[in-house]
A and B are shown apart, each in its own frame.
Chain A
Amino acid sequence: MEALTPDKIPRAQQVISILWPSFICAIVASGIFFSAFNPKELIPFNLDIDISPLAAYSIGFLLFWILAIVSSMGTLYFTISNCRVLRKQGN
């Protein structure tokens, strides 16, 4: 059997391998971040935003998730494109 290289991993598994680790990172990151900072105190005084705590925490979590997703996507993208480059070079 030909070796299974990252670019041959099924699309759905690629998606999972991006979403899932970043989800866990987002949980850890929001846990640490929101223990240190109260979202109520993060909103600058000149901005009159009325936002419920749950909304603030949720948005914070989703932002962390997106951040981690972007990072995971970068890793996967480079891994896959490196595979293709190396293969073209005949390695």
Chain B
Amino acid sequence: MPVQQADNNDNPLYVAHQKIYPRVASGRFARLRVLSILTLLGIYYVTPLLQWNDRQAILFDLPARKFYLFGLTLWPQDFIYLAALLILAGLSLFFFTALLGRVWCGYACPQTVWTEAYLWMERKIEGNRSKRMKLDKAPTSASKIRIKLLKHTIWITFSLWTGFTFVAYFTPINELANNLFTGNLGPWEMFWILFYSLATYGNAGFMREQVCMYMCPYARFQSAMFDSDTLIVAYHPERGDPRGSRRRGTDPKEVGLGDCIDCNLCVQVCPTGIDIRDGLQYECIACSACIDACDEIMDKMKYPRGLIDYTTENSARGEPQHILRPRILVYATILLVLCGLLLTHISQRIALDLDVIRDRNTLYRETRDGLIENVYTLKILNMDSSSHQYSLWADGIDGLKLVSDQPELIVEAGAVYETVVRLQADEFNMEERSVPVRFHLQAIEANHLTIVEEARFVGPGKK
């Protein structure tokens, strides 16, 4: 794959190359892209507003150390799920990249989504590509300042809203809005709103394609996931070359030219400023803007569409395509198995946790009736969404008795309950000095909420 080296030797600042003024493309892929971008933006801004049983539907509640996901409440103990989700996300990226190339970049990456949103605002305020270029070249004037000021004000407002929404995933949005309007915003809430806003403003307003080119690890190692059957955006040189301008309706063969009229529109619409006709380049985010632009030209020229289109290396070479190839099957199998495991695990997850801590101060003591007694501190964590009463018993030694001062064990939803219990056993029933015992905890009226926890019971040892 020919990969071009960006020439940025003599540039002191982060503007490694000239500012890119993408022309807006319209067509079927552009419509698909707008649809995808609007959906994703909608999900981002609306999610914190959703409510579920008098609380925010999706919330990382940092003070309570809980993560609410609609009906599900995850605790730090459930960290494994988050890790599994991340692995799943990574694997899906592999899978979809092998199959569809960089669709993620062109249609779903936050960098693309927000850049497109900021470009849209820029277009609405500064005008189309040539107007924007003229404005930037024009000497400073009152109207230029006015336009730029307007653009940045709107950008910054949108960034602040984005930052606010971000923090609302961690602090309930009602509380956050209330604090904001009453001037009671905590310093760290303020810090994160500003931090996230600044990142959005910088990335979507200024850095744009440079994020993809210099900061995105995915863009660098994507070639490892590509093969000759991966979907790519490509120009067909055998059809387009030799390029050259001509009058509308000319038959290219008569003038000895290919189908490309060298109008440069495919370059002008490209958000990363490359010429797809030079071949596949790592800068190409497969946004398909050049396909739409060229199709429009082909329509005008009455040539067939698809001089630039989605293709695969194999089909461009006229070789058979393989959708179901080993790589795809392997990724798909791993993905399905992992998804299945995760779902079964979550559905069988027991919303109850028990911690048993043996009293370390005394190994054991003898009761008045001559029994050996050990003391334990139990920590019961009710991770369910309703409160429960529990029954507690222990086994492991013949005639083991559990003594508690607490007649009833009731734990509120999402609460931790600590209680001290004593186990008593006859030393003649103990095989060894230290014997494993099991604590059983079961919710009354919700028998599936059962948990067993092991501990050790220590005695004087056989005499």
Report which A residues bind B (CB closer than 8 A): 1-2, 4, 8, 10-13, 16-17, 20, 31-32, 34-36, 38, 52-55, 57-58
A12-B186 contact, Cβ under 8 Å, with A53-B62, A57-B62, A58-B191: no
The answer to whether the Cβ of B14 comes within 8 Å of any Cβ in the partner chain is yes
Chain B's closest residue to A1 (CB) is B7
CB distance from A68 to the nearest CB of B (A): 15
Q: Are A54 and B9 in contact, CB atoms less than 8 angstroms apart?
A: no
Interface string of B150-180 (1 = CB under 8 A from A): 0000000000000000000011000000000
Interface string of B307-340 (1 = CB under 8 A from A): 0000000000000000000000000000000000
Q: Are A53 and B11 in contact, CB atoms less than 8 angstroms apart?
A: no
Q: Are B12 and A54 in contact, CB atoms less than 8 angstroms apart?
A: no
| List of 10 A-B pairs having minimum Cβ-Cβ separation, nearest first | A12-B14, A35-B79, A53-B63, A35-B76, A54-B188, A58-B188, A53-B62, A55-B188, A20-B215, A12-B13
Whole-angstrom distance between the alpha carbons of A8 and B187 in the complex? 40
Whole-angstrom distance between the alpha carbons of A31 and B62 in the complex? 12
Q: Are B188 and A10 in contact, CB atoms less than 8 angstroms apart?
A: no
The answer to whether the Cβ of B264 comes within 8 Å of any Cβ in the partner chain is no
CB distance from B217 to the nearest CB of A (A): 8
* B62 CB contact (under 8 Å) in A11, A13, A16, A54: A54
A8-B214 contact, Cβ under 8 Å, with A54-B170, A54-B189: no
Residues from chain A with a CB closer than 8 A to the CB of B11 are 10
Report which B residues bind A (CB closer than 8 A): 5, 7-9, 11-14, 16, 62-63, 65, 76, 79, 82, 170-171, 186-189, 191-192, 214-215
Interchain pairs with CB closer than 8 A, number: 57
Ordered by A's residue number, 8 sampled pairs between the chains whose C-beta atoms are within 8 Å are A8-B9, A11-B13, A12-B14, A13-B16, A16-B214, A35-B79, A54-B63, A54-B188
Whole-angstrom distance between the alpha carbons of A1 and B6 in the complex? 11
Residues from chain B with a CB closer than 8 A to the CB of A13 are 8, 14, 16, 214
Whole-angstrom distance between the alpha carbons of A55 and B188 in the complex? 6
A10-B12 contact, Cβ under 8 Å, with A16-B214, A20-B215, A35-B76: yes
Chain A's closest residue to B214 (CB) is A13
CB distance from A61 to the nearest CB of B (A): 10
Chain B's closest residue to A37 (CB) is B76
CB distance from B380 to the nearest CB of A (A): 17
Q: Are A4 and B188 in contact, CB atoms less than 8 angstroms apart?
A: no
Chain A's closest residue to B171 (CB) is A54
Chain B's closest residue to A57 (CB) is B62
CB distance from A16 to the nearest CB of B (A): 6
